[in-house]
Amino acid sequence: MNTEPYCIAGRLRMLARIVTGRYNDAFVSEGVTFAQAGLLMHIFAQPGIRQAQLSKQLQIEKSAMSRDVQLLQKNGWLTDSIRRGLFLTEAGRLLAKRCHKIWKALNQQVWEELGPQAVDGITTLSQKLIP
């Protein structure tokens, strides 16, 4: 076993890129990225949420959130009202439901590949770092 410490931030970024790539690949058939699918699923679960609140909740930079929101609007999946918040169109709701099925199957597959010990480690790390 290598006792030389490695850069935790670098390792986490590498793992995030690998896992995110798998999730992105899963959503190609729906024409969205994993991040966009995640926004659709969150807005489906919280209709009327404000963009700033969702950005804070998901720890997404406001500029990245704005780009994805604009793209979702352009594709006819999302409406945005400064006063009323974010709402999915009927097409957006249908897409969010399809994305949820894809996410659920892939998430279960990744969970099984990682195993309970690794997932517990991710949970512990998350609880320590996410407010």
Percent of the chain with pLDDT over 70: 96
Contact, 67 vs 36, CB < 8 A? no
pTM for this predicted structure = 0.86
pLDDT average, residue stretch 62-78: 93
Q: DSSP letters of the chain?
A: ---S---HHHHHHHHHHHHHHHHHHHHGGGT--HHHHHHHHHHHHSTT--HHHHHHHHT--HHHHHHHHHHHHHTTSEEEETTTEEEE-HHHHHHHHHHHHHHHHHHHHHHHHHHHHHHHHHHHHHHHH--
pLDDT of residue 3: 60
Query: Residue 43's pLDDT is what?
Result: 97
Q: What's the pLDDT at 40?
A: 97
Residues 19-51: tens digit of each pLDDT: 999 999 999 999 999 999 999 999 999 999 999
How far apart (Å, rounded) are the C-alpha atoms in residues 41 and 93?
8
Tokens of 51: 């963009």
Task: Choose among 13, 92, 20, 86: nearest CA to 55.
Answer: 86
Quick one: pLDDT at residue 130?
A: 84
